[in-house]
């Protein structure tokens, strides 16, 4: 009997030892999980969040522009001749009436002398005709000769007077042509290139001008806006005419090719009345004062137009992410989880923030940084960041 009991107890004891060892391993795993550095389940991370507060902001839209002087005048000869003297150099600043070129054309001097001589001849003939009239008149009055003799003398006098007037006109024309040999600047400006040198034969049919004088006291920046922008401008500005609407546009800036901002502010003054069917754009002109002739005609730049938006919902660009061309933010729910929300933003050139038109309301909280690591419904530990300080950093 004792042998049977002993035989049965051996398997039972083995099972007890097996379950005991399993229990020890489970306890060891649980203890390892509680140790520092061990695996953590459902860890809630800390994320900075901001509360959306409406702000007044200024948006900037940039348009590539070409710069032209107020006047670009081609200097061309009106007569044929050789360049005798060049009084200015390329790039020189000139005043209105200042001498630029002297053209040698002796034939025009001769025409003046000839015209002066013809005037003397015509004047002598007029004097002779007047003497004849004075001689005939008393004879006619005394009925010594026919009155037709007086009429003939008077007609001769009128013909001689007309010839004198023609001679004087010829002299004036000759003097005008002679004046064309001296070429002066028509405006204040800057001299361009001078392709012809002393001794070159020039005429009114010469292909290239002698030079170009650019009046750059004021400069024009020409840029284009597309059809949609033109319609938005007409819809969102007050005024019955284009000029009245343009008058509401605030002063604009000119960004030079160096990236520096031109110190003078400009005004948008004119817009083309037609949309270019090839490009679908509208040509617009902004005018800037150019003291010191800093900017030259032919330069390039960017016209920057400001636009003030009241009660704007601003979102830092780093708080957004993009999927298939759409922008999203993570809104923090009251439960501590995040929810992705699509937003529609306005175009602006700030580069630091977006102005939200749809998808976000004032008072909602969004994740400021680290959005790339988040997923829909993820639990976070919100760390409130001062909204004003974030906005101030974005505006700088």
**Domain boundaries defined on the chain:** 46-58+309-395, 62-69+213-307, 81-202
- Confidence band, pLDDT 50/70/90 cuts, at residue 280: confident
CATH number for the segment(s) 81-202: 1.10.287.470
Q: Please state, in angstroms and rounded to a whole number, the distance separating the CA atoms of residues 106 and 125.
A: 29
**Using an 8 Å Cβ cutoff, are 300 and 66 in contact?**
yes
Query: Where is pLDDT greater, at 98 or 227?
Result: 98
**Using an 8 Å Cβ cutoff, are 333 and 257 in contact?**
no
pLDDT recorded at residue 20: 47
- Kindly report which listed range (46-50, 108-112, 351-355) carries the lowest average pLDDT score: 351-355
Mean of the per-residue pLDDT values of the chain: 86
Please determine, for residue 2, whether its predicted confidence score (pLDDT) is greater than 70: no
Overall CATH class of domain 46-58+309-395? mainly beta
Q: Please state, in angstroms and rounded to a whole number, the distance separating the CA atoms of residues 162 and 144.
A: 30
Share of the chain above pLDDT 90, in %: 54
Please determine, for residue 166, whether its predicted confidence score (pLDDT) is greater than 80: yes
Q: Same topology for domains 46-58+309-395 and 62-69+213-307, yes or no?
A: no
DSSP 213-228: EEEEEEEEEEEEEEHH
- Confidence band, pLDDT 50/70/90 cuts, at residue 237: confident
What is the mean predicted confidence (pLDDT) over 289-317?
89
pLDDT recorded at residue 238: 83
pLDDT recorded at residue 212: 93
**What are the helix (H) ranges across the chain?**
2-34, 106-141, 147-179, 227-236, 242-246, 387-395
CATH number for the segment(s) 62-69+213-307: 2.40.30.170
Please determine, for residue 35, whether its predicted confidence score (pLDDT) is greater than 90: no
- Confidence band, pLDDT 50/70/90 cuts, at residue 396: low
**Using an 8 Å Cβ cutoff, are 69 and 90 in contact?**
no
The set of residues, in sequence order, having a beta carbon less than 8 Å from that of 281 and lying 6+ positions away, is 224, 225, 226, 227, 275
Please determine, for residue 16, whether its predicted confidence score (pLDDT) is greater than 90: no
pLDDT recorded at residue 5: 43
3-class DSSP state of 209? coil
pLDDT recorded at residue 388: 86
What is the mean predicted confidence (pLDDT) over 212-231?
90
Q: Please state, in angstroms and rounded to a whole number, the distance separating the CA atoms of residues 354 and 372.
A: 18
Please determine, for residue 13, whether its predicted confidence score (pLDDT) is greater than 80: no
Query: Where is pLDDT greater, at 125 or 2?
Result: 125
Q: What are phi and psi of 304, to 5 degrees?
A: -110, 120
Please determine, for residue 196, whether its predicted confidence score (pLDDT) is greater than 90: yes
DSSP 291-345: GGG-SPTT-EEEEEEEEEEEEEEEEEGGG-EEETTEEEEEEEPTTSBEEEEEEEE
Residue with tokens 């976000």: 360
pLDDT recorded at residue 349: 53
Q: Is the pTM of this model over 0.75?
A: no
pLDDT recorded at residue 71: 87
Query: Where is pLDDT greater, at 38 or 203?
Result: 203
pLDDT recorded at residue 350: 63
**Using an 8 Å Cβ cutoff, are 39 and 33 in contact?**
yes
What is the mean predicted confidence (pLDDT) over 324-333?
94
Query: Where is pLDDT greater, at 235 or 320?
Result: 320
- Order of strands across the sheet that contains 182-184: 182-184, 99-104, 81-86, 201-202
**Using an 8 Å Cβ cutoff, are 331 and 338 in contact?**
yes
Query: Which tokens in the block code for residue 312?
Result: 């704007």
Q: Please state, in angstroms and rounded to a whole number, the distance separating the CA atoms of residues 189 and 217.
A: 8
pLDDT recorded at residue 151: 87
């Amino acid at each position: 009997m004792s042998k049977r009991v002993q035989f049965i107890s051996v398997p039972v004891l083995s099972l007890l030892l097996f379950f005991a060892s399993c229990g020890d391993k489970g306890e060891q795993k649980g203890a390892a999980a509680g140790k520092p550095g061990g695996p953590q389940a459902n860890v809630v991370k800390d994320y900075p969040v901001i509360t959306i507060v409406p702000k007044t902001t200024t948006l900037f839209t940039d348009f590539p522009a070409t710069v032209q002087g107020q006047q670009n005048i081609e200097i061309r000869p009106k007569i044929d001749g050789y360049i005798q003297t060049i009084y200015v150099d390329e790039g020189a600043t000139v005043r209105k009436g200042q001498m630029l070129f002297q053209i040698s054309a002796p034939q025009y001097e001769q025409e003046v002398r000839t015209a002066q001589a013809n005037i003397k001849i015509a004047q002598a003939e007029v004097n002779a005709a007047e003497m004849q009239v004075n001689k005939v008149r008393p004879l006619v009055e005394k009925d010594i000769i026919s009155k037709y003799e007086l009429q003939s003398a008077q007609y001769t006098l009128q013909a001689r007077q007309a010839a004198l007037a023609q001679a004087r006109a010829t002299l004036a024309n000759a003097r005008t042509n002679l004046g064309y040999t001296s070429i002066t600047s028509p405006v204040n400006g800057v001299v361009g290139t001078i392709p012809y040198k002393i001794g070159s034969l020039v005429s009114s049919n010469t292909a290239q001008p002698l030079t170009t004088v650019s009046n750059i006291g004021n400069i024009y920046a020409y840029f284009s806006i597309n059809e949609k922008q033109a319609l938005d401008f007409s819809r969102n500005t007050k005024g019955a005419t284009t000029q009245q609407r343009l008058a509401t546009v605030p002063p604009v800036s000119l960004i030079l090719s160096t990236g520096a901002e031109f110190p003078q502010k400009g005004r948008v003054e004119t817009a083309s009345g037609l949309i270019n069917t090839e490009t679908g754009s509208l040509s617009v002109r902004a005018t800037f004062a150019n003291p010191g002739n800093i900017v030259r005609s032919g330069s390039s730049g960017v016209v920057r137009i400001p636009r003030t938006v009241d009660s704007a919902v601003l979102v830092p660009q780093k708080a957004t992410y993009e999927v298939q061309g759409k922008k999203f933010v993570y809104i923090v729910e009251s439960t501590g989880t995040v929810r992705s929300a699509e937003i529609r933003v306005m175009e602006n050139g700030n580069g630091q923030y977006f102005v939200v038109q749809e998808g976000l309301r004032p008072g909602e909280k969004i994740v400021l940084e680290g959005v790339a690591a988040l997923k829909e419904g993820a639990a976070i530990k919100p760390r409130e960041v001062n909204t004003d300080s974030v906005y101030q950093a974005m505006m700088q």
